[in-house]
Structures are given as C-alpha cells and as structure tokens.
Amino acid sequence: MSEIKYKRVLLKLSGEMLGGQEKRGIDISVLDEISNQIKRMLEAKAEMAIVIGAGNFWRGKKEDEIERTTSDYIGMLGTTMNGLALQSRLQKNGIDAILQTAIKMEPVAEQFSRRRAVEYLEQGKVVIFGSGTGNPYFTTDTAAALRAAEINADAILVGKTIDGVYSDDPKINSAAIKYDNITYQDILNRDLKVMDLTAISLCKENNIPLVVFALQEPENIIKAIKGEKIGTLVN
C-alpha cells in the first residue's frame, strides 16, 4: 500500500449508519464491514479514533415530550451503546479497541482522558469516544471536532450515506451540485449541512481538514487516508 497522507484520523459515524437499511437498532453486518475497513487502516499504520452518533436509538430534541437536557442525556447514552457494540465487534475481529466516555460510566467504559487516549492510539489501539462532550446542547459533530483537536488528529473522516458535500440535499433536489473542494468559510456562509456550525468553527480554528465521503463504498476509508480524490475535501 502506498504511503498514507493522514496518519492519525478521527472517523465520525452517524448512528443511522449502524442501523443498516432500517436505520434503527444495530446491524451486525454493518459493524463487521466497518471493522474490516478499520483493520486495513491499522495495517497501513494509521491511528484511528471514532465518534458515533445515536440516531438509530434517539433522534431529535423531543422538547414537546421530554425536556431538552434530559433528551440530550438519553442521546449520550445511545452513543455509548453504539460504542460498546462497535468495540465488541472490533475485538471479535482481532482489533484492540478502547471505549472512553465523557460521562463517568465505570465499569462500562473508561472515563475520557486525553493522555490515555493518545497513548492507546500510539500503541495501535482503536479509541472510541462515547457520550458526546458530556454536556447537553452539544451534538456528536461538536464532540468529533473537539476530540479531534484534543488528540491532534490529522483529519476527520465523515462517513455518510451520500458521497460528499452538496449545495442541497441530493436525495430531495436532483439539481444539487456536488463540491470536490470547499472551504470552512463557504460552509459557514452557505449554511451547508455538513456538520453543525460549532463543529465547523472548531475545525476551522484548529486547521483540521474534513474528508466527507460515502461509507458504503468498501475502499473509501483507505482512499481517504491515502489522500486520494474521493467525496469532498473541506479545509
């Protein structure tokens, strides 16, 4: 395999991605496919951290039914469930993985520690960050940008169900234009739905590029770390 461009990366996954076609619950075959791609990355000597959303368990603020702060904490628990499931499948496939959570949940997972996380990455272990930032009113997009900055990631890989950043939702608007390259400022100015605005601002401030691509294509994660032209590069 040719030399990789991004040695230490953070992979941002949506919870719906883990739910497979139903976008609900956990599809073990999806976990195994992700595990296979991660294994290839580790073989290429990349270092991998992961943040997962919780949309397959809990979606939306639901403020009419459940108070916002409580709803957000339910979502944080959902990200931890996804993290546990992925950790289990990674380990079953021979990959050493550690789950760290922003909220203290021993003995379920370690509490987040930047120092230990970096040590694990340097040892070739996959580090999964659960429970978002540990605070309500912040999304897992923001958690991904924050953790990427803390571990000095070379890039954030954003695995989606579409193949990049578009001017509009291509599933709704067939005339939407795909961008091969776009700046953080353009995303902010145009209010494009790549990640939330707090996350984009954090990436811009810390000069962390985003590679947005379709996760369903088995080779895309490998292509992303090698710096090949896939999806959309945001910098």
Each residue of 20-53: pLDDT tens digit? 888 789 999 999 999 999 999 999 999 999 999 9
Residue 218 amino acid letter: P
Q: Among residues 145, 10, 140, which one has the least CA distance to residue 82? A: 140
The pLDDT value recorded for residue 1 is 47
- Determine which of 57-61, 121-125, 222-226 has the lowest per-residue pLDDT on average: 57-61
Give residue 127's Cα distance to chain centre: 12
Percent of the chain beyond pLDDT 90?
A: 70
Beta strand pairing call for 47-52 and 126-130:
parallel
Confidence class for position 64, pLDDT limits 50, 70, 90? low
For residue range 89-128, what is the model confidence (pLDDT) as tens digits? 999 999 999 999 999 999 899 999 999 999 999 999 999 9
Residue 62 scores a pLDDT above 70: no
Tokens of 131: 């429970």
